[in-house]
Chain A
């Protein structure tokens, strides 16, 4: 028979493994969603660069497509793990974040194209950083790197800013998502 100190150590060991498994599952699911968003926003930046007057349409379609894919991944993931519930809390969170962003960027402020692009990129990364505080450092790394590259582009890149953002924001999310999958 073991003593209480050894029993306590064994329980700590179990808790440590459980924490790692949960984080691994969050990373696994998130990496897929982040990579898909990366591809979508990279395509949207390039499309916006090619057709500058169609910005609102391009970004509306991109965000709706991203939202639909995110919900689909959530539903499929829930079904695979035996949970049939619709990820309603995730959807509500996403819609609230989006609605507040629209309110700030369209109603309160009247941004130009560059400001609008930078606002949404930084606003999104703010929530990645917050997610990192709860779910793991990988989200924070992605948020910090993408934010820095976005700000560098905003202050230093001229006419090709949208192409820079396709690489920095879209590419950053794709690379970050693929890296998260390997952790």
Chain B
């Protein structure tokens, strides 16, 4: 069984990657929207996005819309791949546990 991705496994980073991965490839989420969808605070979200960006899992685009700064976060191809592998590993853990339960049930 593959190891879990330690960067993605943290609960808030998992929610961030899940949100970004649910979008079409070239589409990102604004910081404010991502905050609402993940239920994070400003500081917390910023720190975790930075961790994901350093790992190459997300791209951060900062621009001005009118006079307001707007930060958009998009999942990279590497991030989408890592997220897919992480989800597959989670499913393997559940499947393996169900298999063990079945074996124990058979013995009894």
Contacts and interface: CB of A to CB of B under 8 A. Distances in A.
B98 A17 contact: no
A84 to B, nearest CB: 12
B23 A4 contact: no
A22 interface: yes
Majority-rule SS of B interface residues = helix
Contact of A14 (B3, B18, B27): B18
Contacts of B90: 7, 10-11
Contact of A3 (B3, B11, B18, B93): B93
A-side interface mostly: helix
Interface residues of B, number: 27
B22 A7 contact: no
Contact of A8 (B22, B29, B33, B94): B94
Contacts of B11: 10, 13
B98 to A, nearest CB: 7
B23 to A, nearest CB: 7
Given A18-B22, A82-B27, 14 more contacts: A7-B90, A7-B93, A7-B97, A10-B14, A13-B15, A14-B14, A14-B15, A17-B18, A21-B18, A21-B19, A21-B23, A81-B23, A81-B26, A83-B24
